[in-house]
Amino acid sequence: MSDAWIITAHDEEAAATARAVAELGFRPLRVDVDGGISVREGDATTRAPAVAIVLGDSACVTALRQSDDFQDVPVVLSLSSEQLATADPALEVDELIVAPFGAEELRARIGRARKQVNGINADDVVRIGTLEIDLATYEVSIAGRTIDFTYMEYELLRFLATHPGRVYTREALLSRVWGYDYFGGARTVDVHVRRVRAKLGTDHAHRVKTVRSVGYRFEA
């Protein structure tokens, strides 16, 4: 289940939005960003979320954007009509929604934000030649044959394949795939990359490129 961060100082707003995102199939997590990103509820080792929903506080958007680990997290900002009138037009958000809103409108905004940032929707299948990565069922297949990936191997491949062409350091991959407070060493990434390449086989292993002295990128 993908995480949806809910960022607000108001408990009532957080609870209502948590119910809405849970209906959409996300795991809601209450998050603070004042002085650093910290999860208030749920799994404290959570990875970067599928989407961050900021309720009423545009300063939180700035805090997210200033963090290297979360710059490409899709952000949906909700403002009241009064807040909208005074909002900074240069604020970097992927979708803006006027409160109050319903679950279906939130679904549409989240989908648009994820499409804009990652180029995919949650129910998409990523197809690269004969390689298919089903983002809904967590299955990988090559030429119609299902390949058995462990959860973390799949997560690493999914993340790289949905951010093609971008170079990620080992530390960034540890943060984005394993969790932002994961303390494993860079060797963890190298081991998983070798396993992913082996399972992709001769036709697709070359797509996970090593960028010497930096990290890895995926070529579609």
Domains and CATH numbers, the chain: 3-118 (3.40.50.2300), 125-218 (1.10.10.10)
Copy the structure tokens of residue 79. Answer: 């403002």
Q: What's the pLDDT tens digit per position in 39-84? A: 565 554 446 777 889 888 777 887 777 776 677 788 898 888 888 8
Look up residue 39 and give its amino acid: V
What pLDDT does 99 receive? 83
Question: What is the average pLDDT across 90-101?
Answer: 82
How many Å separate Cα 124 from the centre of its chain? 14
pLDDT, tens only, 137-185: 778 999 889 998 987 898 899 999 988 889 999 888 887 787 644 556 7
Give the model's confidence band at 96: pLDDT under 50 very low, under 70 low, under 90 confident, else very high: confident
Q: What is the 3-state secondary structure (H, E, C) of the chain?
A: CCEEEEECCCHHHHHHHHHHHHHCCCEEEEEECCCCCEECCCCCCCCCCCEEEEECCHHHHHHHHHCHHHCCCCEEEEECHHHHHCCCCCCCCCEEEECCCCHHHHHHHHHHHHHHHHCCCCCCEEEECCEEEECCCCEEEECCEEECCCHHHHHHHHHHHCCCCCCEEHHHHHHHHHCCCCCCCCHHHHHHHHHHHHHHHHHHHHHEEEECCCEEEECC
- Residue 119 pLDDT: 67
Torsion of CA 99, 20, 138, 156, to 10 degrees: 50
Q: Measured between alpha carbons, how far is 60 from 85 in angstroms, rounded to an integer? A: 18
Asked if residue 17 lies in contact with residue 99, where contact means CB atoms within 8 angstroms, the answer is no
The pLDDT value given to residue 182 = 53
Nearest Cα to 175, choosing from 28, 9, 48, 36? 48
Decide which of 138 and 219 is more confident.
Answer: 219
pLDDT at residue 45, rounded to an integer? 44
Report pTM: 0.57
What is the per-residue pLDDT for 25? Answer: 73
Question: Does residue 85 carry a pLDDT above 90?
Answer: no
Confidence of residue 10 (pLDDT cuts 50, 70, 90): confident
Q: Average of pLDDT values for 23-50?
A: 68
